Amino acid sequence: MVAAIKEHEAGKTAADICRGLGVHQATFYNWKKKYSGMDNQELRRLKELEEENRRLKHMYAKLALDNKILKDVLSKKF
């Protein structure tokens, strides 16, 4: 992605880049909007943070569900 954006900044047309990569131009422009100005190390760090965020959201959802189940069980009168 970063290499494709750098090629575009160097003057290569988006159509040529997309044809070479086999992606749609809309995908390329989404990459450009999101990753423009980043190098490979920054992109790698961004991906790591997004993955960590996904795992934390999943963990929170499981704990929230467990909490709700426990509250439901404790609120029942036997």
Span 22-51, pLDDT tens digits: 999 999 999 999 888 888 888 889 999 999
**Is pLDDT above 90 for 20?**
yes
Integer Cα distance of 42 and 30 in angstroms: 17
Residue 12, token pair as written in the block: 């290569």
Q: By C-alpha distance, which of 51, 7, 54 is closest to 28? A: 7
Span 47-77, pLDDT tens digits: 999 999 999 999 999 999 999 999 999 988 6
Integer Cα distance of 66 and 49 in angstroms: 26
**Is pLDDT above 80 for 78?**
no
Q: For tokens 């970063």, name the residue.
A: 2
Domain boundaries, the chain: 1-37, 39-77
Task: Look up the pTM and report it.
Answer: 0.60
